[in-house]
Structure 1
Amino acid sequence: MLDIKKMRQDPDHYKERLAQRGTQPADLDAIFELDDKRRNLIKDTEELKAKRNDVSKQIGAAKRNKESADDAIAEMQAVGDKINQIDQELNEVTEQFQDRMAHLPNMPHDGIPVGPDEDSNEEFKKVGTIPTFSFEPKAHWDVAENLGILDFERGAKVSGARFVYYVGLGAQLERAVYNFMLDEHMAEGYTEILPPYLVNDKTMYGTGQFPKFKKDVYQINNEDQELTLIPTAEVPLTNYFSDEVIPSENLPVYVTALTPSFRSEAGSAGRDTRGLIRMHQFNKVEMVKFAKPADSYAELEKMTANAESILQKLGLAYHVIKLSTGDMGFSAAETNDLEVWMPEQNIYREISSCSNTQDFQARRAHIQYRDDEGKLQYVHTLNGSGLAVGRTVAAILENCQNEDGSVNIPEVLVPYFHGITKITKENAVPFRKVLKK
């Protein structure tokens, strides 16, 4: 959430910068009007409460002097009624103000590309050699289904479209990928956490998913409370310190987690209907950082490098792009996207987003630290995929495929396969013969 005090100090600047993110200046004018009304109501009710205290003292004095206090009592009742009326209006105005503030995206950081969509993103790094094939490379779903290691048909039978079974060495490949990622991140100083997969509305609000993106999630209702299946581990990891003050000497804090992510993919009909790119349930290794404001952009570059390192060690070609103001996520102030090369589509596809949200999430989740003068300040929070596991598996299947349909296992993953170096029809699924019968 943005700081209304800073917004009021330079409203034109906020209007100009937020317009780059699709927010109309009139939306900010409405917020300023509500804030003015809210502040005036607070002033009115405080004055009336002070008056009520004075009248109460007059009543006490009258009673001690055995004088009539009827007029004073009537006046106090009238003041009390007026206070109740203003408080009710104040609650309504405050709710409207907070709702409008909650729907404002983060301010874009200076220097990022300005534009309405992904066409305005800027590539600033390209790494690795795009593979060449002596045959026509197949899509990852064709490679996997031919080997029997991904079963989309049975996934749809049991759960519906955009669900999948990983089978045999397919499941082992997924497990090898995320264990490798976790091991690499822990070697870089991240603490592994296994968080809850169900969170409450306050937690979703803290990282900016609610209220704006409530339609994009899966929710579970019971008699006690409404819970949401996490769309990313960013949500429980960032809220680990919600409503807390992190000791300054502990900053920066690095945490990582492997979790499933659950997304309804609302509005994505017709996009990536085949394969692992856009699923309702997928595994992701997430990185989250809590940093002092002065250090957060250096930490963003380190986080991006951590994600890049995974792709480099897997031998996958990729590029890094700076997202434009119109393509960034709601909570981000700056985002570096990593896109991995997918041979069958002959394009790069997103596999990680590393973002600095500055104090946007910390304000919503109330995560603070004390500066050198002992004053409470909001931390900066950062998050990044390190990486989306299913998309990494898809990239391996496409980039490491052979003409005979087998898939070479990247060298860094071989130890997780206990020496197996290639997925073939013969070793992919031990119960294949049973299925054929």
Structure 2
Amino acid sequence: MLQISYIRENKDKVIAGLQKKHFKELNLVDEIIALDESRRSLQSNSESIAAEANSSAKQIGDLMRQGKKEEAEAIKAKTSGFKAQLKEFGDELVRVEQDLHDKLVQLPNLPHESVPTGVSADDNEVVLEHGDIPNLGEHALPHWELAAKYKLIDFELGTKIAGAGFPVYTGKGARLQRGLINFFLDEAIKAGYEEVQVPHAVNEASAYATGQLPDKEGQMYHVTNDDMYLIPTAEVPVTNLYRDEIVKEEQFPIKHCAYTPCFRREAGSYGAHVRGLNRLHQFDKVETVQIVHPDKSYDTLEEMSTYVQSLLQKLELPYRVLRLCSGDMSFGSALTYDMETYSTAQERWLEVSSVSNFETFQSNRLKVRFRNEDGKMTLAHTLNGSALALPRIVATLLENNQTEKGIRIPAVLVPYVGFEYID
């Protein structure tokens, strides 16, 4: 959520940023500023009346002690309406603050100045490419055929149990999943992240605090009887560990990693691009989250991007890094890098990680603050990144490493899975 003080003091810059993100409801900016003026006026009037009421109460007390009852009664009559006025102002203030909040949460985060202007994924900027794309010939199989051939994943069985998008991993497929999870966690711990195990469901306050609500309400599985949401990513519970907390500056950077299943409705997704592991309703992911000093967040973003790339290099996967354009960014992000691996059999790039800097957008909702060197209460910056999401990693590992002997396992994973080939 954008800070109201920033909107008030930088109206033109805010509008320009919203336009760059293709946000249409620009009238909200003027409405928010007007509501903020009303709020401040109501607060000022309430404080003036409260001060006058306190002064009058003291004066009445002094007169009563001096035996000047008539004078005291006269002042009391004069101030009899203060209580009703304060209630009226208080009720109106509650209404205005709620209206202000409801409008503020509709505004997306403003894009960083380095974000390229664009409308869709076609306008994303390729920052770098790494590795050679294997030449497997025209007989290369897509991962869903490899999964069936080697009995790694049963998509039909998952559909019977739950529905499309809930695969069942079997045999070496299940061991590959477990091995990847442990590998990603071990690497994150080596990189200084503290592992946490968190709930796989969150309450409304937690989903709101990280920006899933109200923006992504239709994409989450909602447990209506308990008003809980299945997590779309570990980012939600992990970042909420620090909701309503005042942290110490010397704690920075706060670094956590967590493995969780992730649940996403993926409403409206259909077609060839969702086949197999390309898009699922339940999938496994290791997430990394950092809470940092505002002066360090963009250095941290580069560090997190480099870290994810190191995982892809160790897995021997060709990849590229994209800087997302303004039209392809998430609601809450100020700057996002996507990492994509190349699917040789499908002949296209698949997103396997997003690393984002939210600046104060989440921390303003979370109320994650610290006292700076001047003693002033300041919002921290939050960042997160997939490190990594498993489905498309598995897809490209299977497709890019298929040989006549079987599917070769990258050397770094062999100790985790216990075999060199899937055959």
Question: Normalized against structure 1, the TM-score is what?
Answer: 0.91
Cα deviation, residue 69, structure 1: 5.7
Give the unaligned 5+ runs of structure 2: none
1:408, 1:423 within 8 Å by CA — same for their partners in 2? Answer: yes
Q: Say yes or no: does 1:197 pair with 2:196.
A: no
Cα deviation, residue 74, structure 1: 4.7
Question: Aligned with 1:212: secondary structure?
Answer: coil
2:136, 2:344 within 8 Å by CA — same for their partners in 1? Answer: no
Moved more, 24-33 or 58-67: 58-67
Letter in 2 for 1:251: F
Q: Say yes or no: does 1:179 pair with 2:182.
A: yes
1:430 alignment partner in structure 2: none
The whole-number CA distance in structure 2 between the counterparts of 1:269 and 1:314 is: 29
2:5 alignment partner in structure 1: 5
Pair 374,83 (structure 1): closer, same or farther in 2 beyond 3 Å: closer
Q: Residues 387-422 of structure 1: CA distance to partner in whole angstroms, max 9, x if unpaired?
A: 111221111111112357x3211111111122x111
2:247, 2:368 within 8 Å by CA — same for their partners in 1? Answer: yes
The whole-number CA distance in structure 2 between the counterparts of 1:298 and 1:120 is: 24
1:21 alignment partner in structure 2: 21
Q: Residues 145-197 of structure 1: CA distance to partner in whole angstroms, max 9, x if unpaired?
A: 22221111111111111111001111001111111111111111111111121
1:238, 1:288 within 8 Å by CA — same for their partners in 2? Answer: yes
1:124 alignment partner in structure 2: 127
Letter in 2 for 1:367: V
Q: Residues 354-400 of structure 1: CA distance to partner in whole angstroms, max 9, x if unpaired?
A: 11111211111111223223332221111000111122111111111
2:367 alignment partner in structure 1: 366
The whole-number CA distance in structure 2 between the counterparts of 1:394 and 1:44 is: 63
The whole-number CA distance in structure 1 between the counterparts of 2:11 and 2:132 is: 48
The whole-number CA distance in structure 1 between the counterparts of 2:302 and 2:147 is: 34
The whole-number CA distance in structure 1 between the counterparts of 2:4 and 2:116 is: 25
RMSD: 1.8
2:291 alignment partner in structure 1: 290
The whole-number CA distance in structure 2 between the counterparts of 1:402 and 1:56 is: 89
The whole-number CA distance in structure 2 between the counterparts of 1:398 and 1:76 is: 81
The whole-number CA distance in structure 1 between the counterparts of 2:167 and 2:256 is: 29
Cα deviation, residue 270, structure 1: 4.1
Cα deviation, residue 25, structure 1: 2.8
Q: Say yes or no: does 1:164 pair with 2:163.
A: no
Letter in 2 for 1:90: L
Equivalent residue runs for 1:261-280 within 5 Å: 261-270=262-271, 272-280=273-281
Moved more, 164-173 or 62-71: 62-71
Letter in 1 for 2:241: Y
Give the unaligned 5+ runs of structure 1: 425-437
The whole-number CA distance in structure 2 between the counterparts of 1:74 and 1:220 is: 56
Pair 181,331 (structure 1): closer, same or farther in 2 beyond 3 Å: same
Q: Say yes or no: does 1:88 pair with 2:88.
A: no
2:217 alignment partner in structure 1: 214
Equivalent residue runs for 1:66-85 within 5 Å: 66-67=69-70, 72-85=75-88
Cα deviation, residue 202, structure 1: 1.6
2:277, 2:391 within 8 Å by CA — same for their partners in 1? Answer: yes
The whole-number CA distance in structure 2 between the counterparts of 1:237 and 1:360 is: 16
Letter in 2 for 1:231: P
Equivalent residue runs for 1:82-161 within 5 Å: 82-161=85-164
The whole-number CA distance in structure 2 between the counterparts of 1:130 and 1:160 is: 34
The whole-number CA distance in structure 2 between the counterparts of 1:259 and 1:356 is: 21
Moved more, 323-332 or 245-254: 245-254
1:234 alignment partner in structure 2: 235
Moved more, 240-249 or 127-136: 240-249
Question: Aligned with 1:228: secondary structure?
Answer: strand
The whole-number CA distance in structure 1 between the counterparts of 2:270 and 2:64 is: 75
Question: Aligned with 1:67: secondary structure?
Answer: helix
The whole-number CA distance in structure 1 between the counterparts of 2:49 and 2:98 is: 22
1:417 alignment partner in structure 2: 417
The whole-number CA distance in structure 1 between the counterparts of 2:270 and 2:76 is: 66
1:432 alignment partner in structure 2: none
1:135, 1:403 within 8 Å by CA — same for their partners in 2? Answer: no
Count of paired positions: 420
Cα deviation, residue 68, structure 1: 7.1
Equivalent residue runs for 1:381-392 within 5 Å: 381-392=382-393
1:20, 1:116 within 8 Å by CA — same for their partners in 2? Answer: no
1:247 alignment partner in structure 2: 248
1:395 alignment partner in structure 2: 396
